[in-house]
Amino acid sequence: MTHESRGAVVVTGASSGFGARTAQVLAEEGHPVVAVARRADRMESLVSHDPELKIWPMVADVRDADALEKAFEELPEEYRNVSALVNNAGLSKGLEPIQSGDRGLWREMVETNIMGLLNVTDLILPRLVARNAGHIVNVGSITATYPYLGGNVYGATKAFVHQLTLNMRVDLHGTGVRVSCVAPGMAKTEFALVRYDGDADRADRLYDGLAPLSADDVAQTVSWCLSRPPHVNVNMIEIMPTDQYFGLGFPASGSSR
């Protein structure tokens, strides 16, 4: 980071994909990392990947504000001096157009992508304001800007993330706390598998015809945002595969793979 005094970094959604790789990258750079996720077995795997890295596995659901607060109260001392937060936890469920949507899936996306982000932010932000320094990176999505069929509620939750980032910048002016949004395009992680309800073949076919982003591409982008000097605030970064244009658009052949 400038990396503000090498304090601890909280990374949500850290059991796989962007979150797991971001936790690893930041720990490799020397930061104590609090890795937050629901799946205990995945958290054990993350920590055992390299026992030399300082990664504290926090098994918690971002939708449960009370459980989050309790878990943070139990942090070891070396992980308490939080200097940054990566709000990565999120999911996409359902493929139907809005007129055929499932209110249960809508609720799950809103509670995770919006309320989950707010719960963690509400817990961490006062600590950053009190130290007059810090950085929050919200992981958004290009779907906040470029719609595609079936991306209705998910895209709207990510538009919330983008707009909240800008409004937080205004509210936090003069506090020394920076806020950024990283908005990835198509990336090959477990994200699509969740969206397709575990259908691995269908999830894999989504990437036919292009070389998608990797979790490492996004993790390195997050790290770069955090590493800017204190007088620089990266408001927004969109990152796409070269083969993708907007939404889910990409050529059927001639990819850079």
Q: 17-28 vs 40-49: helix axis angle to the nearest 10?
A: 30
Residues in the chain: 257
- Number of CB atoms found within 10 A of residue 6's CB: 14
Q: In the annotation, is 154 catalytic?
A: yes
As a whole number of angstroms, the distance between CA 236 and CA 166 comes to: 9
As a whole number of angstroms, the distance between CA 257 and CA 246 comes to: 18
- How would DSSP label each residue in 96-144? --GGG--HHHHHHHIIIIIIIHHHHHHHHHHHHHHTT-EEEEEE--GGG
Task: Give yes or no for a contact between 194 and 15, defined as CB atoms under 8 angstroms apart.
Answer: no
As a whole number of angstroms, the distance between CA 84 and CA 79 comes to: 11
DSSP H helix total and E strand total for the chain: 9, 7
Q: Which residues contact 224 (CB under 8 A, 6 or more apart)?
A: none
As a whole number of angstroms, the distance between CA 86 and CA 35 comes to: 10
Choose, from 154, 196, 207, 245, the residue flagged as catalytic. Answer: 154
Q: What is the DSSP letter of 11?
A: E
Is the alpha carbon torsion for 54, 59, 64, 65 positive or negative?
negative
Residues that are catalytic: 154
